[in-house]
Amino acid sequence: MEEERARIAKEREIRKLAEAKKREEEERKKAEELKKQAQVPTPVSPIAEEVHDSLEDDDDSADDDESNLPIILDGSGEMKNLIDEIVAQNRKRALEAQEESLSLLPKLPSEEVLELNKKELARLRGDGSNEIFHSNEEWTQLARDVTGPADALYTSPDENPLFAFNEATFDERKDRITTVVRGKKKLLQKRWEDLGYQYAAQMEVYNSSNSKAESSSNKSSSSSPSSSSSQAKKQSSYINPYRRPRRANGMGGLPTGDVVRSEYEQEQIIAELAAKEEMERRIKNGLCDVPRQICQKERELFVSFVDTQNHRYIANPMQEELDRKNVNPWSDV
């Protein structure tokens, strides 16, 4: 019985070792396939070549360090296989990212288009002009070699190969665009006129109702004898907000005028003038101009621009940009 148990345990151990060896062989084959995929030559830019070289240097340094490090997983070399697999995956992802970035660039045109471009370039270059003309193929190659502002394709908008085409297209559509914009402005003007007529009619109704209310109140006040005394009280209750109470002359407690009779009254008058100037300054600098009203029709017809940084509406973006260029950000201008 004990011999049978020992035989079964030995068979299980042999089976486990065989399975572990099989898994190790599969992982090694997978790592070799990843290495082969990572070593496929693809067109890369100078930046990608630098990244690839740095990865190779890191791989070499990692291999040198691996020889000095002890195997911590087991004695079958699983640590080295794991490192090789990670490096291969990193290389594969770097190449995939490079291919994805290159796929965003324009593809090379067909042979027929290239031939037409060459003939057109030959004709343009034979005119004796000093302008630089490039075919689609040349523009594509130049775009793939760009690494930053130092080797940009062009520095002026008119150097763009599509600038002349866009300008010609705009000249063709200028009349239609002008007609559409003029029609929108006429609709908006008609809407403002309708609102003006409505406002005038409502104002007339309000004035008539207000005049009737005033006439009825005057009739009721003329019938009561206490109306004159109430009006006198209202007039006497008015107090200058900038005027401070000063010492009376002893005749009924009322001052005779603005005659200064002491230094105390002089200080009070100066304080009144200072308070008035301060209030006028606060009113002048604290208030703002009411912006132009925007009706719903204008919102439907025209595009609105809002400065999200300063939370304000921009009526003329081009004029706003010109004003912004003339402002020094390091001053209070």
DSSP line for 138-149:
HHHHHHHT--SG
- Do 6 and 99 have their domain in common? yes
Domain that holds residue 27: 2-103
Q: Strands, E, within the chain: which ranges?
A: 305-307, 312-314
The answer to the question of residue 70 being in a domain is yes
* Structure confidence by residue, pLDDT tens digits, 210-220: 888 888 877 77
- Do 80 and 17 have their domain in common? yes
- Do 147 and 214 have their domain in common? no
Average pLDDT of the segment spanning 82-89: 85
Question: What phi and psi, each to the nearest 5 degrees, are found at residue 58?
Answer: -65, -35
- Do 17 and 98 have their domain in common? yes
Please name the residues in contact with 194: beta carbons below 8 A apart, sequence gap of 6 or more: none
Average pLDDT of the segment spanning 72-100: 75
**Cα 244 from Cα 92, distance rounded (Å):** 86
Residue 168 in this model has a pLDDT that exceeds 70 = yes
- Do 26 and 93 have their domain in common? yes
- Do 139 and 172 have their domain in common? no
Residue among 106, 74, 72, 90 nearest 34 (CA):
90
Residue 115 in this model has a pLDDT that exceeds 70 = no
The answer to the question of residue 110 being in a domain is no
Q: What is the pLDDT of residue 226?
A: 55
Q: How many domains does the chain have?
A: 3
- Do 79 and 7 have their domain in common? yes
Task: Identify whether the C-beta of residue 37 lies closer than 8 Å to the C-beta of residue 89.
Answer: no
- Do 121 and 178 have their domain in common? no
The answer to the question of residue 23 being in a domain is yes
Q: What is the pLDDT of residue 237?
A: 47
The answer to the question of residue 60 being in a domain is yes
- Do 167 and 149 have their domain in common? no
Question: What phi and psi, each to the nearest 5 degrees, are found at residue 314?
Answer: -115, 115
pTM, two decimal places:
0.34
- Do 89 and 164 have their domain in common? no
* Structure confidence by residue, pLDDT tens digits, 170-209: 889 999 999 999 999 999 999 999 999 999 999 999 999 9
HSE-CB at 62 with a 13 A cutoff on CA atoms is: 16
Determine which of 46-55, 66-75, 96-105, 145-154 has the lowest per-residue pLDDT on average.
66-75
Q: Rounded to whole angstroms, what are the CA distances from 308 to 163, 312, 320?
A: 31, 7, 14
The answer to the question of residue 295 being in a domain is no
The answer to the question of residue 50 being in a domain is yes
Highest-confidence range of 169-178, 223-232, 249-258, by mean pLDDT?
A: 169-178
HSE-CB at 176 with a 13 A cutoff on CA atoms is: 5
The total of other beta-carbon atoms located within 10 Å of residue 158's CB is: 9
End-to-end CA distance of the chain: 102
More confident residue, 227 or 268: 268
The answer to the question of residue 192 being in a domain is yes
- Do 83 and 162 have their domain in common? no
For residue 331, what pLDDT band results from cuts at 50, 70 and 90? low
Count each helix (H run) and each strand (E run) in the chain, helices first: 10, 2
Task: Identify whether the C-beta of residue 119 lies closer than 8 Å to the C-beta of residue 18.
Answer: no
Classify residue 168 as exposed, middle or buried by CB count within 10 Å of its CB (0-12, 13-18, 19+). exposed
Please name the residues in contact with 249: beta carbons below 8 A apart, sequence gap of 6 or more: 255, 256
Task: Identify whether the C-beta of residue 118 lies closer than 8 Å to the C-beta of residue 135.
Answer: yes
Tell me how many degrees the CA angle 91-92-97 measures, rounded to the nearest 5: 100
The answer to the question of residue 244 being in a domain is no
- Do 16 and 99 have their domain in common? yes
**Cα 331 from Cα 333, distance rounded (Å):** 6
- The SS3 call for residue 321 is helix
Q: What is the pLDDT of residue 134?
A: 62
